[in-house]
Amino acid sequence: MKNRRRWKKKIPPAMWSDGSFASPAAQTRPQRRRRRRYLSVELDFRAEMNKAPSMDKESMVELKKRFKKMSVVPDENSFSNAILSLKEHQKPAIVIKNTSFPDVRFFYLSNLRLARLCIQAKLSTVFREFTIINEPACIDFFEHYFDDLDLALAQLKYATQLLMKIARYFIQLMEKDDCNTLDRCKYLKVNAIGCMYTVAMTCLPILAYIEKVRQHMLAQDDDPTHENAPPSHIVLAKEDCTIPHTSAFEVEKAAGLVHPDTLRWLEELEEKHGFRMHDDCAQEHPLAA
């Protein structure tokens, strides 16, 4: 006997492939039950995901203690004072007459490295102290309320790497054979510090955001609830992340990167506190000869 072909009534699926549900009229009773069960589970999942993470009182107290121990986030005056606090900027101009040029070049190389360390230390301190946000006890808390904090710290880390790249580039230029005059050493030093100072200035909006987060955490109550929890509107504008992305800094392009007032300020410092040739002093003061 031939197998009779059985025709079955086509039953529409409870949910189509695109995620939409079939109309209730076209659904069977079991499908409607599965649909209600699915919606209930989905609503519970969304409510759990949107729930603000909380911390117990002991964790919040410990977190506030660690925020109180943090250093003050540097501002524009901090970076200016870092340059002014260099040893060579605390002494009058040094007049050289018989000093060999390798010693002069070594002096400027040391000054350039020291300037990089002073500026980089201020950014590295902030980045190192805020590693607290990656601890398991408070990672969910900071990701929920301050979701741009990771972006800000990543920008600071990139800025510190950029400072090292700038210093390395200008040190290589200063160690070349064509850098055989005092004016060339001064020129490279001024442009190097100018580029590093400019990178630090572009970090000011990021540092201001981090300081706002720090001040807000210090103002929190020890017993966190949903009412006094920190708001989630403290965000970092994407236009504030303007740290230049470049592979190398050419001396000819430094004038376009560094503000003219910054270059003028650094040149005045170098003229006042840097090395000076004995012949130049004799020309300025003829009676001294």
Using one digit for the tens of pLDDT, what is the confidence trace for 213-249?
Answer: 888 877 776 555 544 455 445 556 555 566 665 555 5
Torsion sign across C-alpha atoms 197, 200, 205, 208: negative
For the chain, the domain total comes to 2
Q: Are residues 61 and 178 in the same domain?
A: yes
Torsion region of 241: left, alpha or beta (phi above 0 gives left; psi -120 to 50 gives alpha): beta
> Is the same domain home to 17 and 143?
no
Q: Are 203 and 159 in contact (CB under 8 A)?
A: yes
Residues 146 and 234 sit within 8 Å (Cβ to Cβ):
yes
Query: Which residues is 140 bridged to in the sheet?
Result: none
**How many whole angstroms separate alpha carbon 30 and alpha carbon 126?**
59
Residues 110 and 168 grouped into a single domain: yes
- Rounded to a whole number of angstroms, the CA Rg of the chain reads 31
Mean pLDDT (whole number) for 64-73: 81
Residue 15, beta-bridge partner list: 21
Structural domain boundaries, residue 39: 12-51
* Residues 13-47: tens digit of each pLDDT: 545 444 455 555 555 667 666 666 666 655 554 54
Residue 5 lies in a domain: no
Does 176 map to a domain? yes
Residue 3 lies in a domain: no
DSSP assigned state of 132: G
Cα(53)–Cα(139) distance, integer angstroms: 10
> If you search the block for the tokens 């510190």, which residue do you land on?
160
Q: Based on the domain organization, do 27 and 147 belong to the same domain?
A: no
Residues 242 and 266 in one domain: yes
Structure token pair of residue 39:
């919606």
